[in-house]
Amino acid sequence: MKRHAHIVFLALMACGYPWASTSAQSPQRPNIILVFLDNFGWGEPGFNGGGIIRGAATPNMDRLASEGLCLKNFNVEVQCTPSRSAIMTGRYAIRSGNGTVPLGEGVYGLVQWEVTMAEMLSEAGYATAMYGKWHLGRTPGRFPTDQGFDEWFGVPNSTDESTYSSLPGFAESGLSETFVMDGKKGSVPEKVRPYRLDYRPLIDRELTNRALSFIEKNAEAETPFFIYLPYTATHFPTRPHPDFAGKSGKGEWADLLMQIDSYLGELMAALKKAGVDENTLVIFTADNGPEALSPGETSLTVETAMHGSAGPWRASLFTGYEGALRVPFAARWPAAIKAGGVSDEIVHAMDLYPTLAALAGGKVPQDRVIDGIDMSEFFLGKKENSGRDGFIVYMGKDVFGVKWRNWKLHFKEQTGWNGVLQVYTMPRCYNLLTDPQEVDNVFFPHTWVAKAALPQLEEHVASLKAHPPIPTGQKDPYVPPAALEE
């Protein structure tokens, strides 16, 4: 059995107890649903100024935000795999060996030594399920059902693989198709069907159906449950379900907004019907900012390409700009989170791990560095400050910058996922309040920002030296070379 406790950097190394206690306990531990969209920009939902100006109203997203806590400065890593690693482990993705989206057919993903959010909640007595895109391993021992989930239905990798069989040259490549998979804890997931363009518009309907059944089953059994719902719909190729195709009259992307919002509404209605609405924490967020495709960059139809909206922030995924880092975030828990909360405090995806542990009575590991911060009191309105001043901005395995309060330092910049990389001998400095597009370098006269922002990078680098990252592609079993003392 894997062991758990809580660390922020190395502060608990001197702790002599086998477990570190969680902080603010909620009145009653909640059921948890984590809706995690794929490549969904900050500016898409109505609660961030999108919705109707993106082609379709988003009443259920907006209701979730208005009846709970809406974070305007929720940050993630800038690629799919790193963000999913960070949220599942509470650690920078560089630590788990998942700092980049995997290419090729080799082994990748989370080693068994990592303790996922699902494992933590499972050991706390939760029924756990995942429906959707994993992107943290595609081989036995690396599937969601190997990492704490009681059941999983979805795809191991990314949705662009649904296009492979329709593209010229793939049939002769010798590569295997991606399959939709269905699995239970303790057994190898089964291949249900090839993941092709014919199933691309349909999969999120099935993911929703399974989530609805899981809610009903566990509510009836009075078992606390955790549903991780990483939808696929907003990742290329854009293909709405037939029930929503053409429904908005504003194009495929607007159709998808209607679809996502409708599915979210179904989940909330199911909670109410099952009598667990008041004590269920529903989190709505995304893995990174929007895609950067244009019609000239895809061999499929013009309609399948989309830019997405990062709102006032610059750029897209695969960059170090705010458009990649900031994503929509709303959390609703009627029994404990006051309605109407809005905050610009910095929160990072990896903070959800220790925060949910505190709220659910779970424990996080003591034998490794945990970069996430327990924000349970902040979420519950007991504190105005999140406790996080900033974080390290990675693009892949490279440090691109440091974010500190309303400032950003950039050491490297990339204009797009296929853009030109610029490396600076002197960092560029941006004031995010006055310059959300990050174009006006004010390093002079604001050299003081570097003095304030860089200590967190120094601490981070020191921790990586003391506890080296897991190598990318590391096979199991893995034993860390410098585990923290118990």
* Cα distance between the two ends of the chain: 15
On the 0-12 / 13-18 / 19+ scale of CB atoms within 10 A, 442 is middle
Q: Decide if 405 contacts 391 (C-beta within 8 A).
A: no
Tokens of residue 253, six digits: 């992307």
Q: Decide if 255 contacts 248 (C-beta within 8 A).
A: yes
Q: Decide if 241 contacts 256 (C-beta within 8 A).
A: no
- Does 15 participate in catalysis according to the annotation? no
Using the Cα atoms of residue 140, residue 1, residue 153 and residue 234 in order, give the sign of their dihedral. negative
DSSP-based three-state secondary structure for 424: strand
Which residues pair with residue 37 across a beta bridge?
Answer: 286
Q: Decide if 81 contacts 287 (C-beta within 8 A).
A: no
Cα 473 to Cα 73, 91, 142, 328, 478, distances in angstroms? 32, 17, 11, 31, 11
Which residues pair with residue 413 across a beta bridge?
Answer: 422
List the catalytic residue out of 135, 235, 410, 460.
135
Q: How far is the C-alpha of 7 from the C-alpha of 259, rounded, in Å?
A: 39
Q: Decide if 73 contacts 406 (C-beta within 8 A).
A: no
Q: Decide if 349 contacts 83 (C-beta within 8 A).
A: yes
Q: How far is the C-alpha of 35 from the C-alpha of 288, rounded, in Å?
A: 13
Q: Decide if 454 contacts 402 (C-beta within 8 A).
A: yes
List the catalytic residue out of 4, 6, 80, 235.
80
Name the E strands within 57-150. Answer: 69-71, 74-75, 127-133
Whose CA is closest to 457, among 406, 410, 387, 396?
410
Q: How far is the C-alpha of 444 from the C-alpha of 237, rounded, in Å?
A: 43
Whose CA is closest to 115, among 483, 481, 461?
483
- Does 80 participate in catalysis according to the annotation? yes
How many other CB atoms are found less than 10 A from the CB of residue 9?
16
Q: How far is the C-alpha of 259 from the C-alpha of 293, rounded, in Å?
A: 21
Residues contacting residue 191 through CB under 8 Å, at least 6 positions apart: 179, 180, 181
Which residues pair with residue 181 across a beta bridge?
Answer: 154, 191
Q: Decide if 301 contacts 30 (C-beta within 8 A).
A: no
Name the E strands within 303-438. Answer: 330-332, 341-343, 347-348, 390-395, 398-404, 407-414, 421-431
Q: How far is the C-alpha of 333 from the C-alpha of 208, rounded, in Å?
A: 20
Cite the active site residues.
Answer: 80, 135
